[in-house]
Each structure stands twice: as structure tokens, then as C-alpha cells.
């Protein structure tokens, strides 16, 4: 059963590790898939730029070369027809031969570059047009060589120039087509860039959403786990407080029984022995035996009182914390052989009994640790009454606290619990000279007495 009714938070029914692992796998898969998609898009874009745009530009250069050659032939035919220079038509045979060779080379390169962007009909029309042009050119030069200059010029005007104009027009149309293809390729590149950009935004939004959902899930699980830990911690503190309360109540009961019952019995026995000794003859063995028994009873009475004080500091209820420490510290020096330097600073203020017991127990545990574990020959205790707090420090220069203790001592846990019961804090550290420094700080308003002594140890926080 619980000490009080508290609503238990719903504990996680399973570990979130599997869900988080699945989410991680999904996220990594999405990243890999999107990376593959982007790589494919970039590869397609590079292919488009290399195979279409660059080829189209090279093809346009070859078409411009063909167009220049045709313009050169047009100028030559104009001179051949006019006859102003006085040369026979056969004088242009070498020029036409060079241009024909250059045109054949340009047409061969252009056909390889334009294979993917031109229809077979266009290629056949261009090849047929050039073949007919050269056939007509051969007939013109044949007439000129036969001495038929007038007929040759007439053929140039009627057939050759017309065919050259048709070829120039066809090449110009191909240049326009290449320009249109380049524009379309540019538009496709822009579309690809826009698509990739949209996909990037979508992927980033999906990634952020996945991160948000994962973070919310982790926060939810953490809140539930921290709520569970807080509940466990609260129950542990309640249990520790009740144990401390029960311990103090039991020790106080045993201490009072020893002090009141056994102490009174031993006092009464001592009184009866003194009365009996007074009636015994002087110098008799009975009188000597009674004196020895009286000393034994007195020694037992002092032991019972010391044990009673050790079990529960009754002196706190009579002399307060300051008076109790003035008696306790010299007693520890005599019992342990450890030289203790005790200082008190500030103006003392009244401390309620329950808080005084906790402070006394913290000091008792700290000095026990000095005597049993530190190996130090001396210790320093300082009790400071500050304006807003009470501070107790116990310092020794012994072996100090181990960095990794093999087991957790109940004493340190009890000291922390007692500090929490008073609403204070306790810290364990190592001073520069080595050893251990225990510092207990308690707010004044938590422990200052209002004139009504509190002898209860209910275990509740101040």
C-alpha cells in the first residue's frame, strides 16, 4: 500500500527503440531514394546539354559554313553571268572545285551532328538538292569548254542560280530549326531545374516533418519516463523519510527507557547500597563489598546515560543545538582520539528540536566517517549562523572520498535525506589540500524555532 493516494502515471508498455529504429530506416531510405532521383535528374540534364545543346550548336556552325560556301558560289555565278571581268567561264572551275570539296566535308560533318534532330526526308532533300546543283554545274562548265559561253551563261541564270538560292533557303530553314531546338532545350533545362527545386522543397518539408514527429515522440516518451522516475524518486524519499522518522522515534523511545527506567532503577539501587553501607560496621568486609558494588552501579549508570545520549540526543531538548555540540565534540575527541577544531560564527538563533536532531545526525555521521575511513588525525568543524541560513562544515585532510566507490554507503544517503527533510542542501567535495569537505546548508526560515518545541518526526518536508 502507498502512504498516500497518488495517481500513478501510465508507464510505457514497450520500449520506443523499435519505433525510432523504423523511423530512422525510413528516413535513411528516403534520403537514399531522393539522392538517386537527384543523381538521375542531373545525369539527364548533363546528357541533354551535351547531346542536344552542344551538338545543335556545332551543327549550326557547320550550316553557317555551308551557307558561306553557297554565298561564295552565288558571288562567283554573278560574275560569271555579267562577264565584266573578261574571263571565260572555265576560269571559275578551280574555285568551284575548292568550294565543292569544302561543302562535301561540311555536309558530312553536319549530317553526323544532325542525325538525331532531323527527319530522313530533310536529309534526303538536302542531299538531292546538292546533287542536282553539282550536276547542273558540271553541265555549265561542259558547255563552256565546248565554246558555248552564251548558252552556259543562260544555264547559270535559268538553272544554277535558282538551285543555289533554293539551297541557301533550305540551309537558312535548318538554321532556324536549330535555333528553335536550342530554345526548346533551354526550356526543358529550366523545367528540369524547376522540378528538382520543387522536389528539394518537398523533400525538405517531408524531412522536417519526420524530424518533428520523431522529436515529439521522443519528448513524449521522455516525459513519461521522467514522470515515472519522479514518482519513484518521490516514493523513495517518502520511504527514506519514514524510515528516518521511525528510527528516530524508536531510538528516542529506547533512550528514554534507558534513561528513565534503568537510570532510576540503578539510582535507587545505589541509594539502597549507600544506606546499607552506612549501617555496616566500619572496617568490615561487608562495608568494603558494598562500596565496590556501589562503584559498579555508578559505572553502569554512567554507561546507561552515555548510551541513552548516543541513541537520542536528549540534551537537544534541554540545551539546544549549540549546547549539545559543545558537549558532543569533546566527547568524540576522547572516544576516537581525533583532534577536532570546533568553531562557531554568527549570532545563534533558536532551532526546532526535529531540525536539531537532523543536524546532529549529519555531524555524527560525518565525524564517524572521519574516524573510521579517512585516516586523518584531525578534523575541523564550523557552525555558522548566517542571516538567512545555517551552515555546518566538516573538513578533514585524510584519504578523501573514492572516485568510484565499490558500494553505496547508507550513511551518505541518510545525510542527503536529512538535508532534504529540512529543505536544505548537502555537498561533498575535496578541498585543495586533499581529504573531504562536507557542507550542509539549511535556510533559516525552515529550521528556526517559533518558541514551541517540536518533538515529532512525522517525516514530512518543512
Whether residue 162 is contained in a domain is answered as yes
pLDDT value at position 3?
39
Shared domain for 54 and 178, answered yes or no, is: yes
pTM over 0.75: no
Whether residue 460 is contained in a domain is answered as no
Burial 67-85 (b: 16+ CB within 10 A, else e): bebbebbeebbeebbeeee
Shared domain for 78 and 212, answered yes or no, is: yes
Whether residue 236 is contained in a domain is answered as no
Shared domain for 77 and 212, answered yes or no, is: yes
Whether residue 222 is contained in a domain is answered as no
Write down which residue in 172, 187, 216 finishes a domain.
Answer: 216
pLDDT value at position 461?
35
Write down which residue in 172, 191, 216 finishes a domain.
Answer: 216
Per-residue pLDDT of the chain (462 residues; tens, 9 = 90+): 333 433 444 444 566 667 667 777 877 787 778 777 777 777 777 776 666 777 778 888 888 998 999 999 888 888 888 877 678 888 888 999 999 999 989 888 888 777 566 777 877 888 888 888 899 899 988 988 888 888 988 888 888 888 888 888 988 888 888 888 778 777 877 787 777 778 778 877 887 887 888 778 788 888 888 888 888 877 877 777 777 777 777 877 787 777 667 777 778 787 887 777 777 777 677 777 777 887 887 888 777 777 776 676 777 777 788 888 888 888 888 888 889 999 999 999 988 888 888 898 899 889 888 888 888 888 999 999 999 999 999 999 888 776 655 555 567 888 888 888 888 999 998 888 888 999 999 999 888 876 544 444 433 333
Q: What is the CATH number of the domain that holds 399?
A: 3.30.565.10
Write down which residue in 159, 194, 216 finishes a domain.
Answer: 216
Whether residue 92 is contained in a domain is answered as yes
Q: Report the number of distinct structural domains present in the chain.
A: 2
Whether residue 384 is contained in a domain is answered as yes
pLDDT value at position 101?
92
Whether residue 459 is contained in a domain is answered as no
Give the domain extent around 410: 314-447
Shared domain for 350 and 204, answered yes or no, is: no
Shared domain for 172 and 52, answered yes or no, is: yes
Shared domain for 324 and 207, answered yes or no, is: no
Whether residue 140 is contained in a domain is answered as yes
Shared domain for 189 and 320, answered yes or no, is: no
Q: What is the CATH number of the domain that holds 210?
A: 1.20.120
Shared domain for 211 and 340, answered yes or no, is: no
Amino acid at each position: 500500500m502507498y502512504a498516500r493516494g497518488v495517481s500513478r502515471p501510465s508507464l510505457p508498455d514497450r520500449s520506443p527503440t523499435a519505433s525510432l529504429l523504423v523511423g530512422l530506416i525510413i528516413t535513411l531510405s528516403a534520403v537514399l531514394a531522393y539522392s538517386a532521383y537527384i543523381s538521375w535528374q542531373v545525369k539527364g540534364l548533363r546528357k541533354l546539354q551535351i547531346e542536344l545543346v552542344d551538338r545543335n550548336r556545332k551543327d549550326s556552325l557547320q550550316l553557317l559554313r555551308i551557307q558561306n560556301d553557297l554565298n561564295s558560289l552565288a558571288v562567283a555565278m554573278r560574275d560569271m553571268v555579267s562577264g565584266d571581268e573578261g574571263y571565260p567561264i572555265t576560269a571559275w572551275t578551280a574555285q568551284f572545285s575548292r568550294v565543292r570539296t569544302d561543302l562535301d566535308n561540311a555536309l558530312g560533318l553536319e549530317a553526323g551532328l544532325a542525325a538525331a534532330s532531323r527527319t530522313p526526308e530533310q536529309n534526303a532533300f538536302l542531299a538531292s538538292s546538292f546533287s542536282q546543283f553539282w550536276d547542273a554545274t558540271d553541265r555549265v562548265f561542259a558547255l563552256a569548254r565546248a565554246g558555248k559561253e552564251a548558252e552556259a551563261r543562260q544555264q547559270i541564270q535559268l538553272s544554277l542560280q535558282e538551285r543555289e538560292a533554293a539551297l541557301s533557303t533550305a540551309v537558312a530553314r535548318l538554321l532556324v530549326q536549330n535555333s528553335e531546338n536550342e530554345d526548346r532545350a533551354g526550356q526543358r533545362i529550366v523545367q528540369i531545374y524547376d522540378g528538382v527545386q520543387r522536389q528539394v522543397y518537398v523533400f525538405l518539408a517531408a524531412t522536417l516533418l519526420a524530424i518533428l514527429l520523431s522529436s515529439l515522440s521522443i519528448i513524449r516518451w521522455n516525459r513519461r519516463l521522467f514522470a515515472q522516475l519522479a514518482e519513484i524518486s518521490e516514493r523513495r524519499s517518502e520511504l527514506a523519510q519514514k524510515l528516518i522518522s521511525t528510527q528516530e522515534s524508536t531510538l528516542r523511545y529506547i533512550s528514554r527507557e534507558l534513561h528513565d527506567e534503568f537510570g532510576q532503577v540503578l539510582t535507587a539501587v545505589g541509594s539502597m547500597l549507600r544506606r546499607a553501607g552506612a549501617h555496616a560496621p566500619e572496617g568490615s568486609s561487608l562495608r568494603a563489598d558494598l562500596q565496590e558494588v556501589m562503584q559498579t552501579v555508578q559505572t553502569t549508570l554512567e554507561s546507561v546515560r552515555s548510551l541513552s545520549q548516543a541513541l537520542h540526543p536528549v540534551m537537544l531538548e534541554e540545551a539546544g543545538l549549540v549546547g549539545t555540540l559543545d558537549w558532543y565534540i569533546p566527547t568524540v575527541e576522547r572516544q576516537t582520539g581525533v583532534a577536532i577544531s570546533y568553531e562557531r560564527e554568527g549570532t545563534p538563533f533558536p532551532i526546532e528540536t526535529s531540525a536539531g536532531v537532523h543536524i546532529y545526525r549529519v555531524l555524527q555521521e560525518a565525524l564517524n566517517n572521519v574516524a573510521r575511513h579517512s585516516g586523518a588525525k584531525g578534523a575541523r568543524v564550523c557552525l555558522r549562523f548566517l542571516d538567512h541560513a545555517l551552515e555546518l562544515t566538516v573538513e578533514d585532510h585524510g584519504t578523501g572520498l573514492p572516485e568510484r566507490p565499490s558500494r553505496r554507503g547508507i550513511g551518505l544517503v541518510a545525510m542527503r535525506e536529512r538535508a532534504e527533510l529540512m529543505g536544505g542542501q548537502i555537498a561533498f567535495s575535496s578541498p585543495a589540500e586533499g581529504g573531504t569537505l562536507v557542507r550542509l546548508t539549511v535556510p533559516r526560515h525552515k529550521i528556526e524555532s517559533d518558541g514551541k518545541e517540536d518533538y515529532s518526526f512525522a517525516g514530512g518536508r518543512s
